[in-house]
Amino acid sequence: PPPPPPPPTFFFFTLKTEYQISACLVGSEMCIRDSIMSNSEYLPSLSSVLQKCKTLTLNANNIPSLEKAFKEASSYCDAPSEHNWSHPIVYHAGSETGWFFLQNESEQSALKEFKNKFDFLIDEWLEGKKFKSPDVPKLEKINSKLDKSQQLNFIENLKKNF
């Protein structure tokens, strides 16, 4: 008779000892091991590893947490073009949520809407989309001073146009 078939395989990886795992980890992977694996006697779930990778990636690129981003966006929603944003994604999340909405709705509903926009933009950024800082139009500085007759002509022109 032929040999019995091997038992079905449900896992696509083999279990390794902590020593074998730590020998192949570098950089942020070491942080994952230190923060997830050392706090539990069991291996972390895939979702917790992916979430930790996402958090480390965002931190490494100076993208604030949802809470910090929401606080920044809601604090500067009255003059967003004048603020120096911590990251362009915060500005774009605030802009897509709506500055008026952030300023006038309850914190609970504004946070919920902001979270949806922020998470969507984070996913786009993780997929490679680039976000530019907002272009803030600068006022022209006029260094020349007008003499009295030029000032009067300027005022007359304004009166004619308006």
pLDDT in tens, the chain (162 residues): 666 655 554 444 444 444 444 444 445 555 555 555 566 667 778 888 888 888 888 988 999 999 999 999 999 989 898 899 999 999 999 999 999 999 999 999 999 999 999 999 999 999 999 998 887 655 556 666 778 888 888 888 888 887
pTM above threshold 0.95: no
CA distance 110 to 66: 12
Cβ(118)–Cβ(69) below 8 Å: yes
